[in-house]
């Protein structure tokens, strides 16, 4: 990373990016599906939906709006049980990354497909509740990743110039949303970054990039 670009603003995803929460989300979805739409359980693969909001996934699975609403609500209840039980933890390097961004004068925002109630609980449990200037959740937007409008709305809401910002994402849906909004995008926790994204191995690698970016801008 050269000093030609200074990413003053970091737009961070949460689930699968900063939090190792996929097992909790998948378990919650599978139990909710088994209870409410058991015929869809055998074909359910959470990885195919990662990055999308719970409501959007439930709508795809259930079809009927009433069933979808109950499915989403039940999944959220079950996921919050996983959070309370301590089964959702930050990835190694998450707190260090956010602290380095703050120390370097960078601003971090959270752009997540989770519901506000679930996100607030997960952030508190992970010790990350104080790490973001502001938070955008699925409750705040009418669409779900991979729709770029999620990130466009975030930039409008916070008066962020996309040319001075970078998105940190892990899922194909999230990366597609960020790239579609014209953001430089770091694709973390993958050996095969999507075209157009910058691949980084894990959050400690992102911390190293932050050091290079901050030093290069001085």
Q: Which of 84, 103, 136 is the last residue of a domain?
A: 84
Domain containing 179 — which CATH number?
Answer: 3.40.50.1000
Residues 213 and 122 in one domain: yes
Query: Looking at the domain assignment, is residue 1 inside a domain?
Result: no
Check residue 51 and give its pLDDT.
87
- Spell out the per-residue pLDDT of the chain, length 218, in tens: 433 457 999 999 999 999 999 999 999 999 999 999 999 999 999 989 988 899 999 999 998 999 999 999 999 999 999 999 999 999 999 999 999 999 999 999 999 999 999 999 999 999 999 999 999 999 999 999 999 999 999 999 999 999 999 999 999 999 999 999 999 999 999 999 999 999 999 999 999 999 876 555 55
> Do 79 and 132 belong together in one domain?
no
Longest dimension (CA), the chain: 58
Statement to judge: residues 76 and 35 lie in one domain? yes
15 is catalytic: yes
- Tell me which residue range forms the domain holding 103: 9-20+89-217
* Neighbouring residues of 106: CB distance < 8 A, sequence distance ≥ 6: 7, 8, 9, 10, 210, 214
Answer with the one of 84, 110, 134 that is the final residue of a domain: 84
- Selecting among 15, 20, 147, 170, the annotated active-site residue is 15
Last residue of a domain, one of 84, 106, 136: 84
Residues 59, 153, single domain; the answer is no
Place of tokens 């195919």: 48
Is 202 a domain residue? yes
Can you say whether the dihedral through the CA atoms of 57, 61, 66, 69 is positive or negative?
negative
Claim to verify: residue 99 and residue 164 sit in the same structural domain: yes
> What pLDDT is recorded for position 1?
41
Q: Is the four-CA dihedral 106, 107, 108, 111 of positive or negative sign? A: negative
Structurally, how many domains does the chain consist of?
A: 2
Q: Clarify whether residues 100 and 196 are in a common domain.
A: yes
| Pair 96, 130 in one domain | yes
Provide the b/e sequence for 14-50 (b: ≥16 CB within 10 Å).
bbbbbbbbbebbbbbbebbbeebbeeeeeebeeeebb
* Residue 15 and residue 109 share a domain: yes
Residue 146, preceding peptide bond in cis (omega within 30° of 0)? yes
pLDDT of residue 99: 97
- In this structure, the answer to whether residues 74 and 95 fall within a common structural domain is no
Q: Do 13 and 117 fall into the same domain?
A: yes
């Amino acid at each position: 990373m050269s000093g030609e670009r200074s990413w003053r603003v970091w737009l961070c995803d949460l689930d699968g990016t900063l939090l190792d929460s996929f097992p909790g989300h998948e378990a919650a979805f599978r139990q909710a599906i088994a209870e409410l739409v058991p015929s869809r359980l055998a074909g359910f693969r959470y990885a195919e939906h990662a990055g999308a909001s719970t409501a959007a996934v439930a709508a795809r699975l259930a079809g009927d709006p009433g069933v979808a609403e109950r499915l989403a609500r039940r999944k959220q209840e079950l996921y919050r049980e996983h959070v309370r039980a301590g089964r959702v933890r930050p990835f190694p390097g998450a707190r260090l990354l956010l602290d380095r961004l703050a120390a370097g004068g960078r601003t971090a925002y959270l752009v997540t497909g989770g519901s506000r109630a679930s996100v607030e609980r997960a952030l508190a449990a992970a010790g990350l509740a104080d790490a973001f200037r502001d938070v955008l959740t699925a409750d705040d937007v009418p669409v779900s990743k991979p729709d770029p409008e999620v990130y466009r709305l975030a930039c409008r809401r916070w008066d962020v110039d996309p040319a001075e910002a970078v998105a940190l994402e892990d899922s194909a849906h999230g990366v597609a949303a960020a790239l579609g909004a014209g953001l430089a995008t770091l694709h973390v926790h993958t050996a095969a970054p999507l075209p157009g994204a910058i691949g980084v191995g894990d959050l400690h690698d992102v911390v190293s990039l932050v050091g290079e970016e901050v030093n290069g801008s001085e």
